[in-house]
Structure 1
């Protein structure tokens, strides 16, 4: 299972690096996510760790999209590390086998779900980097896997209003740019 989660952990590491690079005055800057600041983006991903912990333990799932900045209200890096540590502690072998709902695909073991969940911290690492003026180049291997996940889940996310329409990618665009366009983001 550890190998299956290596991409997930690499995406979390990437996100943590971007959170650590936000300057004190960067948290209120607008992000590529409509209506969200950099703090909202960070809070959403921090809250996502509590969501995964809830999935691992069978606890009620928190709403991580409404007022997400509450998860990053103070020292966002410390709050991220705390959430990540608490989530990791809940990811026992039994928890990773626990079935969790995955939209129209039905139930998947949590470990399999996390293999695709890397899309969330990866794309929001890009959002946070863009909002705060940091380099926004993503790991090409993670981008490739995240793009595959995005193509599976985009239809349902668009239908629910959680994802906007795709944008056209420039001719000859690399895979990161195509992924961003598919998710409604402009790379430039």
Structure 2
């Protein structure tokens, strides 16, 4: 795969690490995403791999927001690894040049879309970690990159009901806390104020 997708791959690696750390009884735990369990979060990100593969191949994209747990019934880690492997195989040089629709931004080459897509697996890595009691510190370089993307896409996502309103970040907060506040994650703000993540 193209070297320029290294950030995207690192984000997937971090998500896979947290996914592999979920205990057998952790899948039904509530997540910071309203109405979603840990399995729903895992399914949403796994479904995202199906979405990326559809963009790469020019086939209809799946709805990854409705009943996302259907993408990882049974062994969630196996479902993720299978989807990731199949998607990586589809990301040929030709596919990465394919123009894909990006909301109000018009069309971008798939490779450029994937650099912005880092936001998805990164933030849901945090959601899954919090839901299942794992360390929730994110890669600072990926956070910086994802924050720039979030500022570009948040307004449209909020109009579509896919993102909570932004919250005020504490004075002097680090970039991860500011990103989580911007994305409406109240537990991210409270955790970084000094207490444990609820």
**TM-score, length-scaled by structure 1:** 0.99
Deviations 1:134-158 (A, max 9, x none): 0000000000000000000001001
Contact persistence 2:31–2:127 (CA under 8 A)? yes
CA RMSD of aligned residues (A): 0.8
Matching residue of 1:162: 162
Matches within 5 A, 1:1-188: 2-186=2-186, 187=188, 188=191
**TM-fit CA distance, 1:173:** 0.4
> Aligned equivalents of 1:168 and 1:2: distance in 2?
38
Please state how far the C-alpha of 1:4 moved relative to its aligned partner. Answer: 1.9
Contact 2:164–2:184 under 8 Å retained in 1 = yes
Q: Quick check: 2:129–2:135 contact (8 Å CA) kept in 1? A: yes
Using the TM superposition, give the Cα deviation of residue 3 of structure 1 relative to its aligned residue in structure 2, in angstroms: 2.8
* Displaced runs of 4 or more, over 4 A: none
Q: Report deviation, 1:72.
A: 1.2
Structure 2: which 5+ residue stretches go unaligned? 192-198
Q: Deviations over 1:112-145 (max 9, x none)?
A: 0000101000000000000000000000000000
Structure with more contact order per residue of length (Cα contacts < 8 Å, sep ≥ 6)? 1
How many aligned positions are there? Answer: 188
Residue deviations 1:43-91, cap 9 Å, x none?
Answer: 0000000000000000111111100001111100000000000000000
